């Protein structure tokens, strides 16, 4: 088989494995084997840019193309549904349908109402060609490249399953609870604002301009509506079962009801059972099952007459506020937390709620001892929504006041102009801030120092062994009396022995014992595996690449993607330290806020000191030197313009240099050619034409480097 054929066969196989894994939850090969095939495909596709295909399984990992979304008209308008909140409304809907159908028998398909954002997918000849958001119902944002990263959406339907040549399928894009929790944990560690619920997170993600971010967050999609001129079945239910065979994720919770009682039973069941679903739901959707009958009933201006949504009651509970405490996070932000009498809410016992900031406390006019209503916002973080004033009496305590000093280190708090949060400015010494920064530093996507969990970091900081991440690189292990002690490398074995071994003949030692943490030794080997592994992980982290070191520093707002872009652009820490705001903003994806934050970081003595100590410790503070890979572009001056699909601008810049060329910023007669992406500016285009400079597209360019 030649390489081109191998590409086609790998694509086909990977599409199928993807479907088995993400849709059927029944993979037949190991993750490792899957990754191997994916890597082989990636490698072959790189060798054959002429075979590029936006629907290849490799495209799921996303590109860093910056997109401003293009608006595209929907073929069929995307309507919303009428909402109901009680059984009377459900009964009225049922009656309206009965009358509209003039006494014919009818079935109602009951299904879950998924709480995400709606998406319309268009398929032609079995291939995904377009994904649009709802937008204003008439036209939506084209989010196709982001949607391609969603693993449960098939890019290519399996052959022989009888899909129509052209059809549209609609559904809901969601962030499953698990991914949502992970995302928020990560954001907390990065010092970013948390998403209030999975819907907001899903919508923020789908509108992200960087599809790599989308790929990382692991969105999912449930499909619930098939449209087109030649859809296969007479009933909505059958169509959806068929769509499942084409590889779409269709909920198993669909059920055909023949009476109002059936419908109520469905509602009652899912009102409870929904709490154990992997995704958020906010109600039930009732749809007339027969497509013919749907057509008879028709539409109002806003919604179909053949369907309705029944919304679950937001669950709410009344309980007593016992105390408000204040928590200090990694960035020094202070969050007020309401501690309440435990109460059952939406299946879990709730006793704490975030009060967010001082303004919220004031708005509620909250007093200790108040009876408060708690709700789960989008079912996640409990919120106090109001106070039951009728229950306020002489036993109710004082008005809740925001604290003036840090509860951890006593430093006066500050509130910056235009921000709602209070901060503890003592970032160098405030313990939770130190711990939080170290936790982030060692985390998997940063320095990946395994064996240093949150509790152990706590111990190290409390013992006085770690004040900053740089201290990690000063540790060594000393054997002492059947144990191993981790200490600062200046502490010798003798000094330690003197401090810790009982000495019958001398007075109590006067010098304080050095900071240390003990690990017990294995009786057979005499070593401590935990201690050895930890030191090895610290040692290995010296090889972690500069972009991850930069991320590990925990510069506010500099997440993984921004760190990578900055590292690729500036190449080393010195260049980054010296960069002006304007220079920072020239980097793709770096705006005002990140640029300011980077400048603030390097002008703060403590932070800059950390980077210098890490540099001394031998961490990677620059990207590897560019190595000459070829001379295909020897002596050429090349202008890069527009946006690209396969690589970022910085990557192209580097490729030009690696192949002997020079990246120049403006077009002149001397320009060898323009590497032209999409949406090249009209003035540049005109200039190129006037001067007769050739335009080379991405694929041609990649071909030149072969």
Q: Which residues are catalytic?
A: 113
How many C-beta atoms lie closer than 10 Å to residue 44's C-beta?
17
Q: Cβ(134)–Cβ(310) under 8 Å?
A: no
Of 114 and 652, nearer to ligand IVH (C-beta) is 114
Is residue 225 involved in binding ligand IVH (CB under 6 A)?
Answer: yes
Q: How far is the CB of 311 from ligand IVH (least distance, A)?
A: 9
Of 314 and 493, nearer to ligand IVH (C-beta) is 314
Sheet holding 307-311, edge to edge: 83-84, 307-311, 281-288, 108-114, 255-257
- Could you tell me how far CA 587 lies from the centroid of its own chain? 22
Is residue 288 involved in binding ligand IVH (CB under 6 A)?
Answer: no
Interacting residues of 510 by C-beta distance below 8 A, sequence separation 6+:
none
Is residue 371 involved in binding ligand IVH (CB under 6 A)?
Answer: no
Structure tokens at 175: 């962030």
Q: How far is the CB of 591 from ligand IVH (least distance, A)?
A: 31
Interacting residues of 287 by C-beta distance below 8 A, sequence separation 6+:
108, 109, 111, 236, 294, 306, 307
Residue whose beta carbon is closest to ligand IVH:
118
Is residue 706 involved in binding ligand IVH (CB under 6 A)?
Answer: no
Is residue 210 involved in binding ligand IVH (CB under 6 A)?
Answer: no
User: Which range in 112-120, 160-168, 362-370, 677-685 contacts ligand IVH by CB under 6 A?
Assistant: 112-120
Q: How far is the CB of 308 from ligand IVH (least distance, A)?
A: 9
Of 132 and 521, nearer to ligand IVH (C-beta) is 132
Is residue 425 involved in binding ligand IVH (CB under 6 A)?
Answer: no
Q: How far is the CB of 118 from ligand IVH (least distance, A)?
A: 3
318: which strand partners? 373
Crossing angle, helix 560-570 and helix 649-658, to 10 degrees?
30
Q: Cβ(142)–Cβ(255) under 8 Å?
A: no
Q: How far is the CB of 111 from ligand IVH (least distance, A)?
A: 4
Q: Cβ(567)–Cβ(547) under 8 Å?
A: yes
Is residue 285 involved in binding ligand IVH (CB under 6 A)?
Answer: yes
User: Which range in 209-217, 302-310, 316-324, 656-664 contacts ligand IVH by CB under 6 A?
Assistant: 302-310
CA dist., res. 364 & res. 154, Å (int):
48
Among 80, 348, 628, 706, which residue sits at the site for ligand IVH (rule: CB under 6 A)? 80
Q: Cβ(26)–Cβ(16) under 8 Å?
A: no
């014919």: which residue's tokens? 104
Among 118, 156, 205, 620, which residue sits at the site for ligand IVH (rule: CB under 6 A)? 118
Query: Shortest CA distance to 639 belongs to which of 607, 685, 595, 580?
Result: 685
Among 60, 74, 113, 212, which residue sits at the site for ligand IVH (rule: CB under 6 A)? 113
Rounding to the nearest 10 degrees, give the CA dihedral for residues 495, 497, 498, 501.
160
Of 162 and 298, nearer to ligand IVH (C-beta) is 298
Is residue 107 involved in binding ligand IVH (CB under 6 A)?
Answer: no
Is residue 277 involved in binding ligand IVH (CB under 6 A)?
Answer: no
How many C-beta atoms lie closer than 10 Å to residue 1's C-beta?
8
């990065």: which residue's tokens? 190
Of 118 and 197, nearer to ligand IVH (C-beta) is 118
Is residue 430 involved in binding ligand IVH (CB under 6 A)?
Answer: no
* CA atoms within 13 A of residue 609's CA, in its CB half-sphere: 7
CA dist., res. 242 & res. 158, Å (int):
12
Is residue 227 involved in binding ligand IVH (CB under 6 A)?
Answer: no
User: Which range in 77-85, 591-599, 634-642, 693-701 contacts ligand IVH by CB under 6 A?
Assistant: 77-85
Q: How far is the CB of 392 from ligand IVH (least distance, A)?
A: 38
Of 15 and 199, nearer to ligand IVH (C-beta) is 199
Is residue 249 involved in binding ligand IVH (CB under 6 A)?
Answer: no
Is residue 224 involved in binding ligand IVH (CB under 6 A)?
Answer: yes
Q: Cβ(148)–Cβ(60) under 8 Å?
A: yes
Is residue 516 involved in binding ligand IVH (CB under 6 A)?
Answer: no
Q: How far is the CB of 158 from ligand IVH (least distance, A)?
A: 24
Of 136 and 359, nearer to ligand IVH (C-beta) is 136
CA dist., res. 633 & res. 288, Å (int):
64
CA dist., res. 229 & res. 234, Å (int):
12
Q: How far is the CB of 603 from ligand IVH (least distance, A)?
A: 47
Q: Please give the C-alpha separations between residue 631 and each of 627, 634, 657, 703, in angstroms, as whole numbers.
A: 11, 5, 9, 14
CA dist., res. 307 & res. 263, Å (int):
13
Of 79 and 463, nearer to ligand IVH (C-beta) is 79
Is residue 180 involved in binding ligand IVH (CB under 6 A)?
Answer: no
DSSP H or E run through 587:
none
226: which strand partners? 169
Is residue 309 involved in binding ligand IVH (CB under 6 A)?
Answer: yes
Crossing angle, helix 177-190 and helix 198-206, to 10 degrees?
80
Q: Mask 608-627, x = binds ligand IVH (CB under 6 A)?
A: --------------------
Among 27, 49, 158, 304, which residue sits at the site for ligand IVH (rule: CB under 6 A)? 304
Coil, strand, or helix at residue 36? helix
Q: How far is the CB of 533 from ligand IVH (least distance, A)?
A: 48
Is residue 143 involved in binding ligand IVH (CB under 6 A)?
Answer: no
- Burial of 198 by CB count in 10 Å (0-12 exposed, 13-18 middle, 19+ buried)? buried
Of 116 and 191, nearer to ligand IVH (C-beta) is 116
Among 107, 142, 172, 190, which residue sits at the site for ligand IVH (rule: CB under 6 A)? 172
- Burial of 321 by CB count in 10 Å (0-12 exposed, 13-18 middle, 19+ buried)? buried
Is residue 423 involved in binding ligand IVH (CB under 6 A)?
Answer: no
Is residue 208 involved in binding ligand IVH (CB under 6 A)?
Answer: no
Q: How far is the CB of 153 from ligand IVH (least distance, A)?
A: 16
Is residue 138 involved in binding ligand IVH (CB under 6 A)?
Answer: no
Of 118 and 331, nearer to ligand IVH (C-beta) is 118
Of 21 and 269, nearer to ligand IVH (C-beta) is 269
Is residue 422 involved in binding ligand IVH (CB under 6 A)?
Answer: no
Alpha-helix residue ranges (DSSP H) falling in 586-630? 592-603, 605-616
Is residue 128 involved in binding ligand IVH (CB under 6 A)?
Answer: no
Is residue 267 involved in binding ligand IVH (CB under 6 A)?
Answer: no
DSSP label at 436?
A: H
User: Which range in 9-17, 113-121, 313-321, 587-595 contacts ligand IVH by CB under 6 A?
Assistant: 113-121
């603030």: which residue's tokens? 600
Q: How far is the CB of 284 from ligand IVH (least distance, A)?
A: 8
How would DSSP label each residue in 452-488?
--HHHHHHHHHHTS-SSGGGGGGEEEEEETTEEEEEE
Structure tokens at 59: 């495209």
Q: Cβ(509)–Cβ(498) under 8 Å?
A: yes
Of 168 and 698, nearer to ligand IVH (C-beta) is 168
- Could you list the residues that contact ligand IVH (CB under 6 A)? 79-81, 111, 113-114, 118, 172, 224-225, 285, 304, 307, 309
């Amino acid at each position: 088989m030649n390489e081109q054929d191998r590409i086609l066969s790998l694509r086909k196989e990977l599409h199928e494995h993807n479907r088995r894994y993400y849709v059927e939850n029944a993979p037949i090969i190991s993750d490792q084997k899957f990754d191997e095939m994916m890597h082989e495909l990636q490698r072959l596709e790189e060798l054959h840019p002429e075979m590029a295909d936006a629907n290849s399984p490799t495209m799921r990992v996303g590109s860093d193309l910056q997109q401003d979304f293009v608006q595209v008209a929907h073929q069929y308008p995307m309507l919303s549904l009428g909402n109901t909140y009680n059984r009377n409304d459900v009964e009225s809907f049922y009656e309206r349908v009965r009358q509209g159908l003039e006494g014919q028998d009818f079935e109602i398909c009951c299904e879950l109402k998924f709480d995400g954002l709606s998406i319309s997918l268009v398929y032609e000849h079995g291939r995904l060609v377009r994904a649009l958001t709802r937008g204003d119902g008439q036209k939506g944002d084209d989010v196709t490249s982001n949607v391609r990263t969603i693993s449960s959406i098939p890019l290519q339907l399996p052959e022989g399953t009888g899909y129509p040549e052209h059809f549209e399928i609609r559904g809901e894009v969601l962030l499953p609870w698990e991914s949502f929790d992970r995302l928020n944990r990560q954001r907390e560690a990065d010092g970013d604002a948390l998403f209030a619920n999975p819907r907001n997170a899903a919508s923020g993600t789908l509108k992200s301009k960087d599809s790599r971010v989308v790929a990382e967050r692991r969105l999912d999609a449930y499909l619930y509506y098939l449209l087109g001129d030649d859809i296969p079945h007479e009933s909505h239910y059958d169509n959806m079962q068929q769509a499942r065979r084409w590889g779409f994720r269709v909920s198993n919770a669909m059920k055909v009801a023949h009476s109002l009682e059936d419908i109520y039973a469905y509602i009652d069941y899912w009102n409870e059972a929904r709490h154990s679903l992997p995704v958020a739901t906010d109600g039930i959707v009732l749809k007339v099952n027969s497509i013919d009958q749907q057509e008879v009933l028709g539409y109002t201006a806003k919604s179909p007459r053949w369907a309705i949504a029944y919304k679950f009651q937001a669950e709410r509970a009344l309980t007593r506020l016992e105390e408000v405490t204040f928590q200090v996070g990694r960035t020094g932000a202070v969050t007020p937390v309401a501690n309440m009498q435990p109460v059952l809410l939406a299946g879990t016992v709730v006793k704490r709620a975030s009060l967010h900031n001082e303004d919220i406390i004031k708005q509620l006019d909250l007093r200790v001892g108040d009876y408060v209503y708690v709700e789960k916002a989008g079912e996640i973080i409990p919120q106090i929504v109001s106070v039951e004033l009728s229950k306020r009496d002489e036993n109710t305590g004082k008005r809740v006041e925001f604290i003036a000093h840090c509860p951890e280190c006593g430093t006066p708090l500050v509130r910056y102009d235009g921000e709602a949060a209070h901060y503890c400015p003592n970032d160098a010494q405030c313990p939770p801030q130190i711990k939080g920064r170290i936790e982030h530093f060692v985390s998997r996507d940063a320095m990946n120092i395994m064996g240093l969990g949150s509790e152990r970091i706590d111990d190290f900081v409390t013992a006085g062994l770690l004040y900053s991440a740089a201290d990690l690189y000063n540790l060594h292990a000393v054997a002492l009396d059947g144990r191993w002690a981790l200490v600062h490398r200046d502490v010798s074995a003798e000094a330690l022995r003197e401090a810790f071994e009982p000495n019958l003949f001398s007075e109590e030692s006067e010098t304080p014992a050095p900071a240390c943490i003990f690990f017990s030794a294995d009786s057979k080997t005499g070593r401590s595996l935990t201690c050895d592994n930890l030191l090895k992980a610290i040692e290995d982290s010296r090889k972690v690449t500069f972009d991850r070191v930069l991320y590990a520093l925990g510069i506010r707002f500099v997440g993984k993607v921004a760190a990578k872009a900055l590292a690729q652009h500036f190449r080393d820490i010195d260049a980054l330290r010296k960069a002006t705001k304007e220079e920072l903003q020239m980097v793709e994806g770096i705006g005002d806020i990140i640029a300011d934050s980077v400048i603030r970081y390097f002008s703060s003595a403590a932070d800059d000191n950390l980077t210098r100590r890490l540099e001394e410790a031998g961490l990677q503070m620059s990207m590897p030197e560019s190595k000459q890979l070829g001379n295909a572009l020897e002596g050429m001056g090349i202008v890069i313009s527009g946006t690209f699909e396969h690589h970022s601008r910085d990557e192209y810049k580097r490729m030009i240099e690696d192949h002997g060329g020079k990246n120049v910023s403006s077009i002149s007669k001397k320009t060898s050619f323009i590497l032209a992406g999409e949406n090249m500016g009209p003035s540049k285009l005109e200039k190129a034409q006037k001067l007769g400079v050739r335009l080379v597209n991405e694929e041609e360019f990649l071909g030149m480097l072969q």
